[in-house]
Amino acid sequence: MSQTEPHGSRVRVAHLTGATISDAPQCCVGCTWWQQRPGGRPPEKRRWMEDVQEQFGPWGKLYLDGGRLIAFLQYGPSAAFERARDLPAGPASPDAVLITCSFLVEVGSPWALQSLVLACIGEVRDGGHDAIEAFAYRYEEGEEFGARFLRHRTVFPRDFLADFGFRTLRSSGRIELMRLELGGIIPVSDDQNALEKAWSAVQGWRQAGAPAPVR
C-alpha cells in the first residue's frame, strides 16, 4: 500500500455519527451484523447509534472526496459489538476500542484506508483509551489486493495491522485477534518499537496536512 495520498480542498475525513451515517456505503447504513450475537435479536440501529455516540463519541470515519465516498471505517468500545464475543480468536478485551469493519471503494485508493486507521489511532489515544483491537486473517502470500481490502471487510490482513504496531493476542486457525497498546508499560521491546512507529506515523500524517476530521 504505497501509493501517494492526494491532497486538496475536496478531500476530507468525516466523523461517523447518526448525522453522517447516510454517507456510508448503502450496505452499512442499516447493518447490525457486529451488534448482534449469532441467532440473537438485532438491535434497533438508530438507538444503538445514539447510545454509542452518547457514551463514546463518533464511532467511525468516512473518507470523502467532495461528495464521493472513498473509504469507511467503523469502530467503538468492544462491549458495543456483541458479535466479537463469538468470533474465532475472540472475545475482544473489555478495555479495548474495537475496529470492526471497513469498506474501500476502489483499488486505486489504498491510502484512504491507511489514513482512516491512523485517524482512529490518534483519536482513540487522545481519548485516553488503553488499546485498539481488530480481528485479522492470515492470507496466503501473493493474495490479490481486491480479496484483501476491496469493498466490505470484517477482518483485516494480518500484515496490514502489524504495520501499525498491532500484535497477536490469540489465534484460531487463520483468524487472529490483534491488539495495539496505547499507553502504560509494554514489557516486550519489539512491541514498544512498533507502538512508537505507529504513533510517529499518526503524528506525521497530521503534520503532512492530511484532511482533519470534521463534523
**Mean pLDDT value across the chain:** 83
166 in a structural domain: yes
- Comparing 172 with 7, the larger pLDDT belongs to 172
pLDDT surpasses 80 at 90:
yes
Which domain does 17 fall in, by range?
A: 11-214
Where residue 73 sits, what CATH number does that domain have?
A: 3.40.630.30
H-run or E-run covering 136: strand 131-137
Confidence of residue 181 (pLDDT cuts 50, 70, 90): very high
139 in a structural domain: yes
pLDDT on residue 198: 52
Q: Rounded to whole angstroms, how far apart are CA atoms 134 and 180?
A: 9
Count the Cβ atoms, other than its own, within 10 Å of residue 167.
17
Number of domains composing the chain: 1
130 in a structural domain: yes
Q: Note whether 186 and 192 are within 8 A (CB).
A: yes
pLDDT on residue 89: 97
2 in a structural domain: no
List pLDDT tens digits, range 128-180. Answer: 999 999 999 998 787 776 667 777 788 999 999 998 999 999 999 999 999 99
6 in a structural domain: no
Confidence of residue 214 (pLDDT cuts 50, 70, 90): very low
121 in a structural domain: yes
4 in a structural domain: no
107 in a structural domain: yes
Confidence of residue 11 (pLDDT cuts 50, 70, 90): confident
List pLDDT tens digits, range 36-77. Answer: 999 889 999 999 999 999 999 999 999 998 889 999 999 999
